[in-house]
């Protein structure tokens, strides 16, 4: 086949879904398929205000979250990320406070799904990349929507732009992809 025809055939051929192989401390041989384009094809009820890269650059989870998972996600996500490979460092968080509960609590409460043993943010990163797990996506989107109550509490109790009002709640909102800097 001539090169021009080959190129045309390649452009019109349906893209094959990409499979991602994960090998980190918590998942040694996990695989998932990307069935949507990165950052697109979101459920209409899910409208995060921050991308995973923006969250990492702002400072979330004390810089400790997913430090051994860099190869799974685009290098661009890590360029400005505030990371602390040695341990949680609340000074790396945007609001300089700790906000959240330990992974052990998430395990005890049954909030973790076997596909995402690190929790909501890991799910969001993989969802953003294009992985779709319909039942788990619905569950996580419902959890994300329920977290909006914290946004309403900040709006109700703080003056607009007063970033010192409710810093833990604002930090928690950042960790759920709500941009609490704008409240």
Mean of pLDDT values over 150-165: 95
Closest CA to 58 of 77, 40, 36, 38: 77
Q: DSSP for the chain, please give it.
A: --HHHHHHHHHHSPPPPEEEEE-SSS-SSEEEEE-S-TT-S--TT---SS-HHHHHHH--GGG-TTTT-GGGS-GGGTSS----TTS--GGGSTTSS--S--HHHHHHHT--BTTBTT-HHHHHHHHHHTB--HHHHHHHHHHHHHTHHHHHHHHHHS-TT-TTSSHHHHHHHHTTT--GGG-
- Name the least confident of 5-9, 44-48, 130-134, 135-139: 5-9
Say what the pLDDT of residue 12 is: 43
How do residues 17-49 score in pLDDT, each as one tens digit?
899 999 999 999 999 999 999 999 999 999 999
In this structure, which long-range contacts are made by residues 91-94, counting pairs with CB atoms below 8 Å and at least 24 apart in sequence?
92/59, 92/62, 92/63, 93/59, 93/60, 93/61, 93/62, 93/63, 93/171, 93/174, 94/58, 94/59, 94/60, 94/170, 94/171, 94/174, 94/181
How do residues 73-90 score in pLDDT, each as one tens digit?
999 999 999 999 889 999
For residue 87 the two structure tokens come to 């341990």
> What value, to the nearest 5°, has the Cα angle with vertex 29 and ends 51 and 55?
15
Instruction: Output the pTM of the full model.
Output: 0.89
Domain definitions of the chain by residue range: 48-182
How do residues 88-105 score in pLDDT, each as one tens digit?
999 999 999 999 888 889
Cβ partners under 8 Å of residue 127, min gap 6: 42, 137, 140
Say what the pLDDT of residue 4 is: 56
């Amino acid at each position: 086949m001539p090169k021009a025809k080959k190129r045309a055939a390649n452009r019109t051929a349906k893209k094959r879904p990409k499979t991602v192989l994960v090998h980190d401390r918590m998942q040694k041989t996990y695989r998932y398929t990307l069935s949507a384009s990165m950052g697109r094809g979101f459920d209409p009820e899910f409208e995060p205000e921050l991308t995973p890269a923006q969250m990492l650059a702002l400072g979330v989870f004390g810089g400790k979250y997913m430090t051994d998972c860099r190869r799974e996600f685009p290098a661009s996500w890590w360029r400005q990320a505030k990371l602390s490979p040695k341990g949680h460092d609340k000074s790396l968080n945007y609001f300089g406070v700790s906000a959240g509960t330990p992974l052990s609590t998430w395990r005890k409460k049954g909030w973790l799904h076997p596909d995402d043993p690190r929790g909501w943010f890991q799910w969001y990163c993989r969802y953003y990349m294009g992985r779709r797990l319909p039942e788990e996506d619905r569950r996580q989107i419902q959890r994300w929507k329920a977290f909006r109550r914290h946004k309403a509490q900040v709006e109700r109790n703080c003056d607009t732009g007063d970033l010192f009002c409710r810093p833990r709640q604002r930090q928690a909102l950042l960790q759920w992809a709500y941009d609490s800097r704008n409240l």
